[in-house]
Every structure is written in structure tokens, then in C-alpha cells.
Amino acid sequence: MVAEERPPTAGAKMRALGERDKLHEDLAALVREQEEMEVEIRAVEKEEDETKQKLVAVMAEMGVFAKPGREGEEWKVLYDRMRELWGVQSEVEARKKELQRRRKVVEDKLTEVYQQIRKRLRSQIRAQARIATRAVTSLRLHREMGALRTCPSPVRDEAALAAEGVLAPCKSPGETAGDGSSS
């Protein structure tokens, strides 16, 4: 004996809607965060490229001053500038690594939310399939028992439906079977 499933209560439906809305809000927030992070990563990469170009320029200039007799005050200024650029480059690389770590965390959260949404959709599809199966089974049973009577629609006339064997003649409540007279 199979126990009948009870229809969900109004409270259960509201909780389910709330969970769905929460998942979609989380998804939207994570997508926004991911987009903002991508913009920030591009800015850091641009800053990293600019720092490398400045560093190469300073190193090239130091090469000019590395010739004998030119290692005075200008060389020391360039060396200090190069050390400063190395510090900036280290900071930029650290920020870039932190952003990449955060991006990975956001992507993992997005994956989790997508999985929850897929799981929820699969559950809804299964529930709808069960309902549809019950409805089809009920319709077949009623049709086989002759209990389901359909009246002709304006689109298809009664003769066409009767020819297909789909329609039993409609009976008004006052008609009796056979003589067509009202009682």
C-alpha cells in the first residue's frame, strides 16, 4: 500500500519560494562580485606591466651610467629608483595573487550555487512529472470507464470527434439515453 503524498502547505510553498529567491540573490551578488574582481585584476595587471616597463627603462639607463667614470650621484639615484620599483612590483604581485585567490573562492561559491539551483530544478521537474503522470493515469482510467465525457468544442465538431472515437455524445442533465426526450 503506497501512502498518498500530501500537497505542500502554504507555509512550505512560501519557504520554497524564499529559498529560490535567496539562491538567485546569492547568484546575482556573486556574479557582480566576480565582474568587479575581473575589472580589478585587469587594473592590477596593467599596473604590473607599467611597473615592469619603468624598471626596464631604469635598468637600461643604469647600463649607460655603468661605464667607468659615470658611477656618481646619478647612478645612485637610478639604483634607488630601481629598488623602489622592485618594491612596487612586489606589492602589485602580492595584490594580484590575493585577487586570484579571491576569484577562486568566488568561482567555488558560484559553482556551489549553480549546483543548488540545478538540484532544486531537478526536484521540481521530478515533482511535476509525478503530477503529470497521475493526471494522465487518472484521465486514462476515467476514459476507459466511460466516465469522462467531453462536449464538442467550436473548433472541432462532434462528428469529427466521434469518427475518431474520442467523444461520446454529450448528454444534458434532462436527457435520457435512447429516446432523446426530456423528463
Confidence grade of residue 183 (pLDDT, cut at 50, 70, 90): very low
Give the pLDDT of residue 170.
54
DSSP string, 41-109: HHHHHHHHHHHHHHHHHHHHHHHHHTSTT--SHHHHHHHHHHHHHHHHHHHHHHHHHHHHHHHHHHHHH
Backbone phi, psi, residue 16, to 5°:
-65, -40
Average pLDDT over residues 95-105: 93
pTM here is 0.54
CB 86 within 8 A of CB 117: no
* CA atoms of 168 and 14, how far apart (whole Å): 43
- Angle (nearest 5°) at CA 81 between 79 and 82: 65
Q: Give the residue among 114, 108, 105 at the shortest CA–CA distance from 27.
A: 114
Domain boundaries, the chain: 17-117
pLDDT in tens, 27-81: 889 899 999 999 999 999 999 999 999 888 888 877 766 666 556 777 788 888 8
Sign of the dihedral through C-alpha 143, 149, 154, 158: positive
Give the chain's mean pLDDT.
77
Distances (CA, A) of 64 to 60, 86, 109, 156: 7, 20, 52, 95
